[in-house]
Amino acid sequence: MKALSSVEPVDLDRYLALQEKFYEMGGYDILSSIPNYLIELGLSDISLDKSVQELSGGQKTRLKLGKLLLSKDSLLLLDEPTNYLDVASVEWLENFLQNYQGIVMLISHDREFLNNCCNKILDLENKKYPIYLGNYDEYLFQKSTKEYNDLMIYKARMKEIDRLSKEAGKKKSEARVTDKKFIRGWEGPVVRKVSGKKAKTAQIILNKIENNIKKNMPDKPILKDKIKIDIHNIQSGWKILDIEKLTFSYDDKKILNNFNLSVRKGDRIALVGNNGSGKSTLLKIIIGEIQNYTGSISVGDSIVPAYFSQEHDLLDPNKTVIQEFLKYIEMNEGDARTYLYNVLFAGDQVFQDISTLSYGERARLQMAIILAGKSNFLLLDEPTSHMDIPSREIIEKALASYDGTMIVVSHDRYFLNKIGINRIVDLGRLEVINE
């Protein structure tokens, strides 16, 4: 321990200056802000003195996001910031970013989030990097307009190239004639040039094609396949499902309490609510995976359900894509490969082991099996999680044309709008919002 006389004197002026700077930078606000950030990011039930190592992967991700937002740097780089966030947390984050004074660059597959937070879109497709002004919907409109204009320009210039090529070929033909001569007693055709001027004109036309038209010509537009997925659903009766006074607890924590729900033919129900409100649990109870509940569940006649698990644990990791597909779907291999191609499993990808697939690819395969199967009641738990936007658009288009009944758990608001949700059940408040 140092003697009192050895303690260095405090530079009071410097201390006061640093204290003032700390105050101006919001240093005193951080500690008071932390509990609010934890609440908004769905971490309110975590003790402040809990070790980070004890947190789940999703909790760690949300904690890192909160730490980053608290820094209030002039530049935020966010890679899929809405992953692991429920709807309420996503809406809070949107409001935070809308009022953020710095620059934000983000990567996201959440199109509603992009609509609400972005005013510029950088498109990295086809190794060209155009920037579109506006949100995601405005980007889609501008891009489709540009693709259409490029296609019209491409077709017009190809037509002009064809016309000029024929004209050049005609000039070359006119620059030569066929004459008949006797050559050492043999009569036969002899080609003789008669017009250097026409040959020169032909070359000028060809130079025009190369140096003017082709040089300023847009790349050949990559036309997206008109993908159509056939959905094999069967008819059902009017009654699909009745749930009365459903109660379920986990580790002495009540997840569902006296929950009631009636589902009828044609219902498209979105289950919403904060993380932990029981959305996935409810689906597992309906399909019979969880049985230690109280209350009653009554399923209608001729109901054939199909369940999508967000853990993808229904897929056999030891099988290939096409083997797993054909395990559930009666179809010859050629038709199966065509069907899988329509959900973006092209060529030899169908022979890839499921254990090597990404989460997004597993989700696509699981959805392909569900859509190709014969069902009339879909129970989908986060079907678009980890999917890229092209994959989501394919699934959206298929589900929009589905003629059966569905209950969907999803944080993807854009996706829910596209598939025609007509009822919303908020498990956080245990009520039907619209019906």
Query: Where do the domains of the chain lie, and which CATH numbers do they carry?
Result: 11-118 (3.40.50.300), 144-179+189-214 (no CATH), 239-434 (3.40.50.300)
Phi and psi torsions of 149, nearest 5° = -65, -40
In terms of phi and psi (left: phi > 0; alpha: psi -120 to 50; beta: otherwise), the region of 121 is beta
As a whole number, mean pLDDT of residues 326-355 equals 92
Q: How far is CA 298 from CA 240, 289, 316, 403, 408, in A?
A: 8, 15, 31, 22, 19
Share of residues in the chain with pLDDT > 90 (%):
39
**Least confident span in 213-222, 258-267, 343-352:** 213-222
Helix axes 333-341, 321-328, angle to 10 degrees: 110
Neighbours of 292 (CB within 10 A): 8
Per the CB < 8 A criterion, the answer to whether 272 and 425 are in contact is yes
Mean pLDDT of the chain: 83
As a whole number, mean pLDDT of residues 14-34 equals 78
Residue type, 326: L
Beta bridge partners of 409: 271, 381
Q: What is the pLDDT of residues 256-287, one digit of tens each?
A: 889 999 999 999 999 988 777 889 999 999 99
As a whole number, mean pLDDT of residues 361-372 equals 92
As a whole number, mean pLDDT of residues 157-174 equals 80
Phi and psi torsions of 419, nearest 5° = -90, 5
Q: Which residue has the higher pLDDT, 184 or 136?
A: 136
> Going by DSSP bridges, is the β-strand pair 75-79/103-107 parallel, antiparallel, or unpaired?
parallel
Q: Flag whether pLDDT at 1 surpasses 50.
A: no
Confidence of residue 7 (pLDDT cuts 50, 70, 90): low
Q: Flag whether pLDDT at 347 surpasses 50.
A: yes
Confidence of residue 241 (pLDDT cuts 50, 70, 90): very high
Range among 147-151, 184-188, 376-380 rated most confident: 376-380
* Alpha carbon distance 148, 151 (integer Å): 5
Q: How far is CA 338 from CA 77, 308, 331, 390, in A?
A: 40, 22, 11, 18
As a whole number, mean pLDDT of residues 139-163 equals 87
Confidence of residue 119 (pLDDT cuts 50, 70, 90): very high
Q: Flag whether pLDDT at 194 surpasses 90.
A: no
Phi and psi torsions of 176, nearest 5° = -130, 145
